[in-house]
């Protein structure tokens, strides 16, 4: 009997030892297996916070049309913007019908009809919009990217109309069923009646009739270290070699991937040209893959919005625009800061660019500045040789480094027909 007990105890000890060895070799507490393929990475540092894709998808502005050629604009994170958008997110849109934009008088719609226009810059895939709005699935409609949603009233009609504009020129979808009454729309439009009045310029951009108040901000910053990004982006950092360039930048490479850090601008660029395709690719899956990648490799150093979902012959580009409060932070050749850019091949990230700067919690100094409006702004625009090429005008922040950390200066940003953005001096 004693011998049987000894044998059973010995078997139990050996089994326990084998199990413990397995966990020591292949697992870490609270993590997945560390025996990963060469295309995966280990998150080693808790750097910036993670984010959900749904929180990165929202309009870059909300234009309120009040009839009689009267307009105002609400920008992201402002009180009325948040209130109206949250209410629209609770409404359903269904039974989409494809229409030609040629059959819609946009100028009359803009100048005479009460309505709410949501703009999404270069466009958002419908499958991603479905994550933030109650859009009922529709096979034809789901293949589109939408850059504008226009909800408006028609005189003597009790139901509101809802148009979804495709990035493919000339294509518009109307929701046959929209869970909105004319009274709902009118209530939202009324929020804009006491707000800053804007005039439309050929339907391309809007000019405030008076100066607008925008906060200038200065705050302390921290910088993610090269070592942090190195550990985060390479499967085995010990096999990489370090190269110092004459311009002061550092390059880490394992002969496949490379990480370049520009110390002067506190900017990093990572490439993985040997990234293995993960399978079928689409705009929405690429965005989700890009969000996951940033979550795992650096996190989010501020407030961001999905700005660009572009398609190329071999790669898709995804750009996230950084915001401070209601306005975007500009990315300039002189100071790279305001965007995160990722390129993907069939759902796998092949390039990743971002700033290493993040804002520290603590002291923030603010003071009110005025951006010119009305005749002063019109005069400045007329002095620009590029006035005929302007397609958009909006308040933005121009970043610069200071002794304290970073300063965000309010400016008018001017977008041109070729896609470039300049600052109106």
Which tens digits make up the pLDDT trace of 111-140? 999 999 999 988 999 999 999 999 998 888
Q: Between 302 and 30, where is the model more confident?
A: 302
Query: What are the tens digits of pLDDT across the range 340-371?
Result: 999 998 888 999 999 999 998 888 899 999 99
User: Which tokens in the block code for residue 421?
Assistant: 């953005």
Percentage of residues of the chain with pLDDT beyond 90: 56
- Rounded Cα distance, 41 and 293, in Å: 10
255-303 confidence digits (pLDDT tens) = 888 999 988 889 999 999 866 665 667 889 999 999 999 999 989 989 9
CA distance 120 to 139: 22
Q: Does domain 220-360 have CATH number 3.10.180.10?
A: no
pLDDT for 44 beyond 60: no
Evaluate whether 421 touches 338 at the Cβ level (below 8 Å): no
How many residues can be counted in the chain? 425
pLDDT at 29: 30
Q: Which helix (H) or strand (E) holds 390?
A: strand 390-401
- How crowded is residue 138: how many other Cβ atoms within 10 Å of its Cβ? 18
Model confidence pTM above 0.75: yes
Given a contact cutoff of 8 angstroms between Cβ atoms, the answer to whether 342 and 271 are in contact is no
User: Measured between alpha carbons, how far is 148 from 170 in angstroms, rounded to an integer?
Assistant: 13
Task: List Cβ neighbours of 231 (8 Å cut-off, separation of 6 or more).
Answer: 44, 45, 237
Helix, strand or coil for residue 295?
A: helix
Terminal Cα-to-Cα distance of the chain (whole angstroms): 94
Tokens representing residue 338 in the block: 């305001």
pLDDT in tens, 144-199: 999 999 999 999 899 999 999 999 878 999 999 999 999 999 999 999 998 999 99
CB 389 within 8 A of CB 416: yes
* Domains of the chain, residue spans: 59-211, 220-360, 361-424
Cβ–Cβ < 8 Å for 323, 76: yes
């Amino acid at each position: 009997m004693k011998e049987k007990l000894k044998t059973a105890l010995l078997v139990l000890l050996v089994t326990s030892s084998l199990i413990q060895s397995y966990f020591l070799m292949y697992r870490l507490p609270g993590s997945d297996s560390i025996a990963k393929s060469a295309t995966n990475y280990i998150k080693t540092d808790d750097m910036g916070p993670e984010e959900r894709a749904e929180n990165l998808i929202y309009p870059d502005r909300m234009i309120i049309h009040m009839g009689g050629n009267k307009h105002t604009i609400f920008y992201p994170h402002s009180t009325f913007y948040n209130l109206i958008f949250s209410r629209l997110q609770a409404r359903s849109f269904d039974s989409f019908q494809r229409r030609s934009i040629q059959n819609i008088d946009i100028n009359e719609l803009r100048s005479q009809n009460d309505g709410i226009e949501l703009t999404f810059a270069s466009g958002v895939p419908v499958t991603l919009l479905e994550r933030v709005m109650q859009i009922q699935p529709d096979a034809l409609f789901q293949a589109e990217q939408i850059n504008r949603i226009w909800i408006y009233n028609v005189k003597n009609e009790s139901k509101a109309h809802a148009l979804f504009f495709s990035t493919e020129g000339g294509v518009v979808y109307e929701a046959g069923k929209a869970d909105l009454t004319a009274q709902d729309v009118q209530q939202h439009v009324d929020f804009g009646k006491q707000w800053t009045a804007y005039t439309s310029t050929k339907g391309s951009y809007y000019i405030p009739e008076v100066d607008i108040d925008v906060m200038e901000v200065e705050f302390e910053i921290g910088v993610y270290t090269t070592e942090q990004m190195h550990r985060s982006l390479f499967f085995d950092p010990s096999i990489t070699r370090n190269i110092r360039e004459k311009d002061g930048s550092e390059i880490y490479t394992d002969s496949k991937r490379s990480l370049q850090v520009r110390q002067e601008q506190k900017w990093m660029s990572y490439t993985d040209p040997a990234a293995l395709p993960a399978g079928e690719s689409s705009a929405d899956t690429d965005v989700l893959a890009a969000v996951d990648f940033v979550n795992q490799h650096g996190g989010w150093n501020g407030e961001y919005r999905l700005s660009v979902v572009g398609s190329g012959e071999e790669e898709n580009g995804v750009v996230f625009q950084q915001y401070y409060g209601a306005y975007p932070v500009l990315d300039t050749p002189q100071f790279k800061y305001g965007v995160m850019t990722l390129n993907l091949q069939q759902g796998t990230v092949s390039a990743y660019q971002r700033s290493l700067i993040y804002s520290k919690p603590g002291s923030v100094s603010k003071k009110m500045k005025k951006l010119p409006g009305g005749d002063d702004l019109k005069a400045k625009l007329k002095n620009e040789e590029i006035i005929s090429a302007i397609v958009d005008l909006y308040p933005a922040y121009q970043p610069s480094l200071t002794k304290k950390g970073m300063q965000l200066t309010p400016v008018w940003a001017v977008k041109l027909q070729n896609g470039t953005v300049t600052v109106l001096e």
